[in-house]
Structure 1
Amino acid sequence: MIAIYFLIILLSSLQSYSIYAERYHPLAKLWKVDDTEVPELLERERKLILIDEILRPILEQDDFISSFGGTYLEIFENHIVVNTVNYSKVDDLLALSQITPHEAFLYFKEANNSMSQIKSNFEQISLQASLIKPQKVYIYTDMLINNNVIYILDSNLNNTKFINAIKPFNPTIIHANNPPASQNITQSQYVVDSRGLEVEVLGGDGLYNEASGVKCSVGFWATNIYDPNEFYIITAGHCYNSDFHNNLFYYTPWGSESPVLLIGSMVFDFLEYYDFGVIHLDGEDVSPTFSVRNDDADGYRELIITGDAPASSHGVHICKSGRATHFSCGYVLGLNGIFVLGEEGSTYDLIITNMYGGYSDSGGVVVSFVSSENLLSVVVHGIIVTVGPEDCTAQSIDTIFNELKKQTRYDLTLYLGGSRD
């Protein structure tokens, strides 16, 4: 009897430990730590970002731009790596009043390329891309590599002329890997009963274009600055089909192939230099939200948008929610990305990440976690533009709103709640 009693206690303890050690939070999965470790690491990352925001503009100044080659964060080491070409300038940097208090968080690593050289080479590579128009390549600066990167999505395409033309600028050339056989995506289904009810549509939910049959994802809700009861969804511009005059978009839940409710028509699409579109809310049964869908994670199924911010540092976490592959996280690899699609044109100012994404994730919301005290809280960085097994890119929210203001009559802001008549 005593043996049975102790066996029950042991099994109970093992079960408790199993629950305790589970990785439910998306950052626990990304960082391969227990949920209990996430707040401390998130706070550490936040502090390093604040220091990096002070440091980076200084390194861009004439006194330092030829001596240092950019920065990136290593949260597990709790420091910012400063790529260093000329060590004689380290003391000058540390002597600055803005930098001295943060010396303990800086790690100076020997590097070959200064930011002045990287920037000059990037301009030349970009020029050659605009002239030669290679097919399906990303161009960006990766601070961890300390160089400009040419990421070739399809090695079967002939980009030899472009590769030869940019050799003098010594980029790092990376070929995309083939997709793994299984991505182990949980295919949860969100069941909607829309009879007589307003259905909340969240960032990452599915969109269906009635005109073309194309499926995309909801980015985030926005409102008119001058009329807070006028609502819009921001998604990818390439979800629009120009062969049809009217593109009506419907809400499609995760795990469903069928459109459920009318949202409205796309009133503006942008594909020249940038990639985003604006859908006006016409449907009476759809309710705007400031939430992000994450149905696959127990305890973190609905994330709350508390604001927006530019992605500003290399090596930080970044996440997305989309119809195809749901919620996933990765790291920021580049902040000045260009996607070149041959004669079809180029998309600029992209956030380059190693997040996994699939077809119909396009337009989905891109976020990061910001509060160690509230692990449901996220800020919006933008929307997904291109997808791949390890190479999602995003158009930043500041680019979207700035271009909308310049190019159209729409002056929009991120929706964070409020009245709806």
Structure 2
Amino acid sequence: MLSEQSATTVRATLPAVGASLGEITERFYAGLFAAHPELLRDLFNRGNQAAGTQRQALAGSIAAFATHLLAHPDRRPDALLGRIAHKHASLGVTPEQYAVVHEHLFAAIVDVLGEAVTPEVAAAWDEVYWLMANALIAIEKRLYEEAREPGRRDWEVVERVTETADVVTFRLRPVDGGPVPGFRAGQYVSVQVELPDGARQIRQYSLSGAPDATLRQISVKRVRDDAGPEGEVSNHLHARVREGSVLQLSAPYGDLVLDDAAGAPLLLASAGIGVTPMISMLAQLADAGHPAPVTVVHGDRSPADHALRDDHEAYAAKLPDASVHFWYEENATGAGRPGLVDLTGVAVASGTRAYLCGPLPFMRAVRTQLIEKGVAPADIHYEVFGPDLWQAQEG
């Protein structure tokens, strides 16, 4: 994929570029938003920008893509690209925006690295960028074409259910009275809301209902950070959205889905609000009468904080061969095991495919335990809520 000359240059400069990616991405976003403030107001997550997590994710994805090109010149990192493309498609990213990103990213590279960016170095990294950008544009084009409800659509809240002190479920139907297309269990939608300052911020929430339901359902955990932008959308939804409110939702996207799972043993592991895609997966498996073993694993602060617990147990109970394992850090007596998730005593069938969703430390720990139990790394799939920092924190 990468020309021989560029590969040589990228290999020689990757350590220097990689070491400076944090500063490069910080200056990139500063320049981008100075020139296009509407992108921060109406597209990028202001909470992630304030926390710096989007910069870390961008730096990690660039480094991971360049490293993959050098190590595997004949293969694309499709898992990495697919995850990014699904996020972009749910936000409505357009091909033209890649040229804008290119302009400000390379200005930041030159600003940080100075004279080290010779014409040869610039050309090599330009090739890396456009290989990644054009691959994403192609994947996103396909995703847009496959979406059965392209663009955003108005949905009315027909029911609001308080699940826990910090989690609310919203059940919605299309305002236009049209059909509710199905989706793939595990997918999410982007929800756009107008905030008091006029910003139209977007957040992604997993669909927590059955894929064939006549209503669409999302369950939103309130991020308790009223002083900053991190929880501005979740707090807005909790405080202002009631039955009769209208929300703008994207089509469903996301690559954490049950592909060709018929007959395979499965393990669905979640923590906290990471339970939401697992409920949808369990609903699909229960409806299909999945015959193979299904191991359900969940960790939470306490039973009272375990959102959708009744659904968690009810769908698992409908399966012919399911085992349920809950862990709680507090008040576990009679409701689950005390402490953090520990798979030491949990039987994991040979050939198990695992699906993980929750905080990154939780998923890293579970992944390590599964590999120790013989689960193939390629059979362990995950979803990160917010910027994907898995790559950014590798090594």
Q: Which has the larger radius of gyration?
A: 1
In the superposition, the TM-score normalised over structure 2's length comes to: 0.23
More helix by share: 2
In the superposition, the TM-score normalised over structure 1's length comes to: 0.22
